[in-house]
Structure 1
């Protein structure tokens, strides 16, 4: 199948039937997502005020960072995180060296990350607002890495297969060296491997493994 570029995604969704992955039809996976997101939002409520205060005291700007991402079948949605960078991070991006390859932007010591942001990323607390995306069905607890619009504009057919499942809060990329992975094709390989291996049992395995990674403080940078 020849997938379109990002500007054509609206017509793509209306005129072409994408491949259907079994995970998108699983009522059990969706039920686990709902229960898991409710638990996650409860935890978010408990730590919300301390995180907000810490972000505000550390740097000026909004508490949340919002970015348009591509989800299942190329449908766009607003992904929200606690802000971990300076407020004008996007403007400063061109001044930061990209240590990643191709479509993956990575910098080990990105100067745009605030002190509180470093802690939030190391503990993955910056990801907590995404439990709302999961509750309303835009994401799943486990899935593929949600790409940005400018990334999708350069996708080939193989890359587009990543969007045949819902993006996840965690996944193969999260538990297999998330911070160390700097090769975009390696990310694609992990996402496609997840699709091949998927089962509800495998999802639960990846969730448990994610807890191990988080407690070891091997979050993103």
Structure 2
């Protein structure tokens, strides 16, 4: 009988026969991930230690990306409504049929006045492509979720400090002396911010949190200001006013 101390247990058995490297799309962070495949099916997702954004760190949303890919509710083909609007009755159709239907709707508008088309793509992960399509169609009336959210933040960051969060870059974590968080949600860009906050805290920088609740990132802030929800637009101009009055800017 083999003694227990002589039994060799593989504590990390292989779970796949192939690993594909890509980026996570569960938020706009674009963390690097290793996607483990077995029999050409996704079986496991882990962080990529060699990726410059997350360095192997992966949050719960990223790890559960496999659920989004394998969800029974995921659409795999175009769906055509066959019942009354709101009835929820649809049937699968081919891509050729879907494109013919779309061309039938869009062709006459483009021939008469393409600006009559207003295009909104929701939380789209390919806004550059949808914007390019709208411009070539001939309409200036297009928008997406990012235009009301991260794109504006990124533009402001790029014009003021030369960078922003998510796929638009990162702050200078190594030289930061004061770091201010305004209403940052813990489920967005979480891995780079966690890594960055660890750096600024280790370097002795001051962290200030402005958020109605003190959870997540705000829990480690040196100073926390629990403003009333919806008053950000008053708080920030007031802060700028005081800086100008003190001659600091």
Q: Same fold (TM over 0.5)?
A: no
TM-score by length of 1: 0.25
Task: State which structure, 1 or 2, has the greater radius of gyration over its C-alpha atoms.
Answer: 2
Structure with greater contact order relative to length (CA < 8 Å, sep ≥ 6)? 1
Whose strand proportion is higher, 1 or 2? Answer: 2
